[in-house]
Amino acid sequence: MPSSTLEYVDMVARTPLSQILIFSVTLTAVRIVSHFVSSRTPKHKQGFGVKFLSGLSDLFDSLIYAAVFIFMVIRPYFFQTFQIPTGSLNPTLKVGDFIGLNKAIYRYSEPKRGDIVVFHPPAYACSPEQLRPGTNDPKVDFVKRLIGLPGDIVEMRNGVVYINGKILWEPYWHFSEQVSQAEFRLFSQAETAEYQKQSWKLVNFKGKLIPLNYTESDANAQFPASRSNSGRQPYWVAEPFIIRDAAESESAEVRNLPAQPIPAGQFLFIGDNRNNSFDGRAWGLINRDSIIGRAEFVWLPFNRLGGIRYVDNGSPKAPDAITAEGMR
């Protein structure tokens, strides 16, 4: 399907409620006028024009009911489409995929580890073009995988995720190289082993709970040092959490801070494409009321049509249960 068609589908799916109301009111006004003309014209004098208006009125009637039902009942409470904007979940979800979003499931159940979730991001997680002009109000939604639940102590040690001290089985994560705007080449096992991996945890720093990204040489640095042959920096940090101009001794002190549990009502989201995902490692946690829904299936493009299969990640596995392949 041409990209212009996909863009049109996405535009329609994201139509603001205010525009739907204007659309419905306009069609209602046309219906009132056509009904007035039809009722004032005797049956024997009703030519093509009047019959056309009558047919148009019936069509508009159907469109009004459809608009009200879809955009004021279905979309807010049950189901919505969402287009994948980045490769942070590649290849589980690819750039440009249209997914069906279940907005009802978290009304009667809690999010589960491993769910792919769409949510409202904090303003400091957004680039300037992702904010409404002149405000700190994001005009975009993010989609990532749920890794950390309330009460969890989550740590990433040299790229491996631990939940409450046990390695989390993650068959979906990988490192990759971006080869075009929408395509990524997955690293081989040897390339993944060579790639410099970050460590991560939540810490209490100067009285605030912050996401701490670190390597053996720095912590939440604005420009992290890289020792990999690629020269790529091992992590990103959102502006509010950058620790500037820290001496080596200070960085070591910060790195040694104990990991803190995720507070009640908050969640940690990370992308599967670990070195190409700007996520909760950089900008922290998401509140429960910012969660929109769970991704259920891909419906466009047609060659990607299918449901999203979830891995049972409710119980992290002990280190001796992780195979060499699972560890990469």
| Cα(287)–Cα(192) distance, integer angstroms | 32
Spatial neighbors of 16 by CB under 8 A, at least 6 apart, are none
Bond from prior residue into 301 cis (ω within 30 degrees of 0):
yes
Is residue 34 part of the annotated active site? The answer reads no
| DSSP 8-state symbol, 7 | H
For residue 242, give both structure tokens. 């950058």
Phi-psi domain of 165 (left: phi exceeds 0; alpha: psi -120 through 50; beta: other) = left
Instruction: Give the helix/strand (H/E) hosting 60.
Output: helix 48-69
Query: What's the rounded Cα separation, in Å, for the pair 112 and 313?
Result: 8
**Does 166 participate in catalysis according to the annotation?**
no
Catalytic pick from 34, 103, 144, 251?
A: 144
- Helix, strand, coil % in the chain, rounded to nearest 5: 35, 25, 40
Report yes or no: 207 and 260 within 8 Å, Cβ to Cβ: no
**Choice among 88, 199, 251, 277 that is catalytic:** 88
Which amino acids are annotated catalytic?
88, 144
